[in-house]
Structure 1
Amino acid sequence: MEQLCKRILEEGKALNEYVLKVDSFLNHNVDPKLMYEIGTYFKEYFSARGITKIFTIESSGIAPAVMTALQMDIPMVILKKQKPNTLTEDVYQTTVHSFTKGSDYELTLLKKYISDKDKILIIDDFLANGEASLGAVRLVETAGAEVSGIGIVIEKSFQKGRKCLEEKGYDIYSLARIKKLGKDLIEFL
């Protein structure tokens, strides 16, 4: 997606060979017009798959996921990183390791928000090692539903995430694929 790549080059900052800061438009200060455009791209790519719901992981995936859900006219479910004390009903949970934070968390989904008839599109802001996406996949499959695709805003292609997901048979559609990061260096595939 040309507009996204342009914003990454203009406003993104590679802090080192693994960390890309894009807080000016994606995960702190959110550009709704860009998110809407991102939703358009995901809708166009995934629209023929009979998707019934979009899942995302709180919090940075919410903006692109909600815009995709809006355009596809389907519900969006936010997978929680911590089980709030207000969640008193039955849940699915799985442990996920966060590359960014260097710690584990329990990804949580209320059972009432998924059925074995659902076809799920997972949307997330970044793909690095694939742990978050694999956690979402585990929740979907534990519920007996189908993962119909995974949409990623920014993929760090030099990390193992895509390979891990593709080896398991999932279709990954990334809007910006980064080949290399370094201090003040951003290269796309």
Structure 2
Amino acid sequence: MEVLKQRILQEGVVLSDQVLKLDALLNHQVDPGLTMEMGREFARRFEGAGVTRIVTVESSGIPAAFATAVEMNVPLVFARRKKTLLADPDAYCERVPSFTKGIVTDIMLSRDFISAEDKVLFIDDIIANGDAARGLIKIIQRSGAELVGLGVVVEKSFQPGARAIREQGVRLEPLVRIKSLSGGTIEFED
């Protein structure tokens, strides 16, 4: 997606060789028009896969996942990172480290919103080390649902997450792939 690459170049902030801050478009402020374009692109890429449900991890994956769910006309379910008083005590749960937060959290998905009959498309914002993605994939597998693929807005291909997910046999579709942040410069793969 050329428009997404241009926006990342204009509004992304390289904090280190490993960290790209995308608060202006994905993680704090959301551009509805761009987000809907991302949803259309994910829907196009996974058209014909029989998707019955979109899943994501709160919170930064929600806008792109919602846009995809709108385009595919299927429900969106997001895994929570925090237990609340209303949390389902029987929810699927996985402990996962967070690359950007530097902590370990639980992600939880209610058994009420995913079943063995589902064909699930997992949408997320960024894949770096892939810990959250692997955790949610384990939850999807335990539910008995079929994972048809993982769509990510940004793949940081210089980090191991996407490669590890692909090695599991999961179809991973990034909208853009970043191969380097060295020297404060964003370098995309073709």
TM-score (norm 2): 0.97
* Structural mapping, 1:13-52, within 5 Å: 13-52=13-52
Query: 1:59 matched to which residue of 2?
Result: 59
Instruction: Using the TM superposition, give the Cα deviation of residue 54 of structure 1 relative to its aligned residue in structure 2, in angstroms.
Output: 0.3
| Aligned sequence identity (%) | 44
Consecutive unaligned residues of structure 2, counting only runs of 5 or more, are none
Secondary structure class of the residue paired with 2:186: strand
Instruction: Using the TM superposition, give the Cα deviation of residue 82 of structure 1 relative to its aligned residue in structure 2, in angstroms.
Output: 1.5
Distance 1:23 1:183, change over 3 A: farther
Query: What is the alpha-carbon distance in structure 1 between the residues aligned to residue 169 and residue 74 of structure 2?
Result: 24
Contact 2:153 2:176 in 1 (8 A): yes
Contact 1:15 1:183 in 2 (8 A): no
Instruction: Using the TM superposition, give the Cα deviation of residue 10 of structure 1 relative to its aligned residue in structure 2, in angstroms.
Output: 0.8
Instruction: Using the TM superposition, give the Cα deviation of residue 184 of structure 1 relative to its aligned residue in structure 2, in angstroms.
Output: 2.7
Consecutive unaligned residues of structure 1, counting only runs of 5 or more, are none
How much is the aligned-residue C-alpha RMSD, in angstroms? Answer: 0.9
Please list the CA deviations of residues 49-93 of structure 1 after superposition, one character each: whole Å capped at 9, or x if unmatched. Answer: 001100010000000000000000000001001121211452110
Contact 2:17 2:184 in 1 (8 A): no
Secondary structure class of the residue paired with 1:102: coil
Q: Does 1:179 align with 2:171?
A: no
Query: 2:147 matched to which residue of 1?
Result: 147
Secondary structure class of the residue paired with 1:99: coil
Query: 1:10 matched to which residue of 2?
Result: 10
- Equivalenced residue count is 189
Query: 1:133 matched to which residue of 2?
Result: 133
Structure 1 counterpart of 2:30, which letter? V
Query: 2:115 matched to which residue of 1?
Result: 115
TM-score (norm 1): 0.98
Structure 2 counterpart of 1:81, which letter? R
Instruction: Using the TM superposition, give the Cα deviation of residue 183 of structure 1 relative to its aligned residue in structure 2, in angstroms.
Output: 4.4
Runs (4 or more) in structure 1 with deviation over 4 Å come to none
Please list the CA deviations of residues 122-178 of structure 1 after superposition, one character each: whole Å capped at 9, or x if unmatched. Answer: 000000011111111011011111110000001100000111011110000000100
Structure 1 counterpart of 2:92, which letter? Y
Secondary structure class of the residue paired with 2:37: helix
Contact 1:15 1:182 in 2 (8 A): no
